[in-house]
């Protein structure tokens, strides 16, 4: 759920706001055309230079749970290049970085985003106005160019706003299996998904920070819809994982029904759980422990 450290409500909010794709309008299209497109090749060269710099400086030993770099490192690469780019934007020395700075100073959108790429991958990238900018384009297929820049309309990059979409993509991308959380119903209002990875490791999932935060804003409506109306609602967690949840986390012996789940959601809303930072933090900690 996070690359390291403690999962907190402040972190969830920060990540969700940072990762959300912004809708473009005429102003952003105009700014992109005026400031970025005339220098797009030079900007791409600069981004590749920064990516190569990050590659040289990256310490893979600090990420022992991941595989061979760069596969699976889209988050780390995008965050790292973002830091390098922010430093250069303070005093541009190249045409490409100078064009991006002028674009920013005139109101252009420049932000990191996370979402569904072509219904095949989860991907971290950048939004520069009306452009999709990917500096970790080789993190699934290492033979691809490291940097890709496309008009957003052609990139087929979408925000993820429901758990069914997330669950389907998670199975495809991570080669695992999704199950509804019907054994820990108090936790399910925030973490409605159990994901069992290809190597058999179960995790409590909530579609990363973006939709977790949105689910809380909507008073847990997204999680309830996934559990009671979604296409994964009838799946049953394998017995070995269910026994662990029962013995280690106080899980129920039998999966709860839709009616019982709805009562848990109603209780969470009545008690204003989403506004109670202490209780929410306990649920976040429990999810991290699974």
Q: What digits encode the pLDDT tens for the residues 137-177?
A: 999 999 999 999 999 999 999 999 899 999 999 999 989 99
Termini Cα distance of the chain: 12
How large is the greatest C-alpha to C-alpha distance in the chain, in angstroms? 64
- HSE of 24 in the Cβ direction (CA atoms, 13 Å)? 21
The beta strand positions in 157-284, using DSSP E, are: 157-158, 177-180, 193-196, 202-205
pLDDT band at 208 (very low <50, low <70, confident <90, very high): low
pLDDT band at 60 (very low <50, low <70, confident <90, very high): confident
Which residues are 127's β-sheet partners? 111, 132
Q: How far apart are CA 251 and CA 253, in angstroms?
A: 7
Query: Exposed, middle or buried, 275 (CB in 10 Å: 0-12/13-18/19+)?
Result: exposed
3-class state of residue 109 by DSSP: coil
Sign of the dihedral defined by the CA atoms of residues 29, 31, 34, 35, in that order: negative
Tokens of 256: 């709860």
Check: pTM over 0.85? Answer yes or no: yes
Tokens of 283: 């649920």
Bigger pLDDT: 274 vs 66: 274
């Amino acid at each position: 759920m996070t690359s390291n450290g403690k999962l907190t409500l402040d972190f969830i909010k920060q990540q969700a706001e940072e990762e959300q794709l912004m809708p473009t309008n005429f102003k952003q299209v105009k700014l992109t055309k005026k400031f970025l497109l005339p220098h797009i090749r030079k900007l791409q060269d600069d981004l590749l230079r920064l990516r190569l710099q990050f590659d040289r400086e990256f310490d893979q030993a600090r990420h022992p749970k991941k595989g061979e770099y760069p596969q699976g490192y889209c988050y780390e690469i995008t965050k790292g290049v973002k830091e390098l780019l922010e430093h250069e934007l303070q005093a541009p020395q190249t045409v490409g970085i100078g064009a991006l700075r002028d674009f920013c100073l005139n109101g252009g959108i420049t932000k990191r985003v996370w979402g569904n790429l072509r219904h095949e991958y989860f991907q971290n990238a950048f939004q520069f106005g009306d452009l999709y900018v990917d500096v970790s384009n080789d993190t699934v297929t290492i033979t691809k160019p490291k940097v890709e820049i496309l008009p957003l309309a052609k990139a087929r990059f979408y925000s993820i706003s429901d758990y069914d979409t997330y669950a389907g993509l998670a199975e495809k991308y991570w080669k695992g299996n999704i199950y509804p959380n019907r054994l820990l119903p108090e936790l399910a209002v925030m973490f409605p998904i159990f994901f069992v990875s290809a190597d058999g490791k179960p995790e409590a999932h909530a579609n990363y920070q973006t939709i977790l935060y949105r689910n809380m804003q909507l008073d847990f409506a997204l999680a309830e819809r996934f559990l009671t109306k979604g296409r994964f609602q009838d799946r049953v967690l394998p017995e070995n994982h269910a026994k662990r949840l029962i013995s280690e986390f106080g899980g129920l012996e039998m999966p709860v029904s839709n009616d019982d789940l709805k009562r848990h959601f109603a209780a969470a809303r009545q008690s204003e759980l989403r506004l109670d930072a202490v209780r929410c933090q306990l649920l976040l900690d429990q999810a991290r422990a699974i």
